[in-house]
Amino acid sequence: MVELTREDIEFFRNEGYLVKRNVLNPELMERARARLWEGAPEGRRRDDPDTWIGPFTPEEENIDKDNNRRGFRWNFREPGGEDWMVQLLATDPNVWRMAEQFLGEGNLVRPDRVRGIYCTLPYGDVPKKSIGCHVDAHPFHLGAVGYIDDVPPEGGGFTVWPRSHKTFYYDYQSQYKNEPTPQYEADRERLSREPGVECYGNAGDVVFWHHRIGHAAGHNYSRQIRQAVLYDFRKTELEQTQEEPPNEDMWRDWPGIKALESDF
């Protein structure tokens, strides 16, 4: 069983994210990689990396939510509700246990789906450029990004702005809903001028992140498709607490962290 250490929890509390290595089930990851290509447009072939380079052509683009393809982004949400896909990330015993270490045992909503397989095609010869951060709009507590294939440096890895959760948490009218104050945009622009930290790694690695951390999908200057499965953990009490204003103690709703803080 993979569990969080005291150092892991302290790092997450201070930095707003945490990468755990070699967590996910190899057989389910291979199943997900194979399933992805069932949604690929004709001419994009798993056995030919030369066909992976983006962007999608206008004829390949698809506005359908379940298999959205546009530019260099490919969000294949269709298999997100299949039981094995949920087991790959959200209810994987290791992932679930670590989420409970953050949010408290018995407090998590049981998932019926994950977001799906989110991909970034290789950029090819597109000139390198900087990226800016944002905060997600929907209510949740703890994000998880699971890599189902290797993600090399500058390969489109999930990118975070460390410690920005301590700023953005207080830039909203409520704890979890999308109600930013004017200060949010000012802070977002300021922080976006600073470089983020790219969370690259190998198949099986999982990035945990606080719901208010500034983040972005990294640019992909590698030769392979960035493939990740995403899920957002929510506590059962979210409906009752989501409209409450930010608490002076931003970890009030994280009993796992609160319980372990006394050990530090």
Mean pLDDT (the chain) is 96
Question: What confidence tier does 204 reach under pLDDT thresholds 50, 70, 90?
Answer: very high
**Residue 214 confidence (pLDDT):** 98
Q: What angle do CA 229, 234, 237 make, to 5 degrees?
A: 170
Phi, psi of 40 (to 5 degrees): -80, 145
DSSP character for 40?
A: P
Closest to 23 (Cα-Cα) out of 87, 116, 92: 92
Per-residue confidence band for 256, with pLDDT thresholds at 50, 70 and 90 = confident
Q: Which residues, at least 6 apart from 82, have a Cβ–Cβ distance to it below 8 Å?
A: none
pTM: 0.96
Classify domain 6-249 at the CATH topology level.
Answer: Jelly Rolls (2.60.120)
Query: Could you report the per-residue pLDDT of 31-51, keeping only the tens digit for each?
Result: 999 999 999 999 999 999 999
- Helix, strand or coil for residue 178? coil
CB atoms within 10 A of CB 114: 24
Both ends of the chain: CA-CA distance in Å?
23
Confidence label for 257 from pLDDT (cuts 50, 70 and 90): confident
**Per-residue pLDDT tens digits for 173-198:** 999 999 999 999 999 999 999 999 99
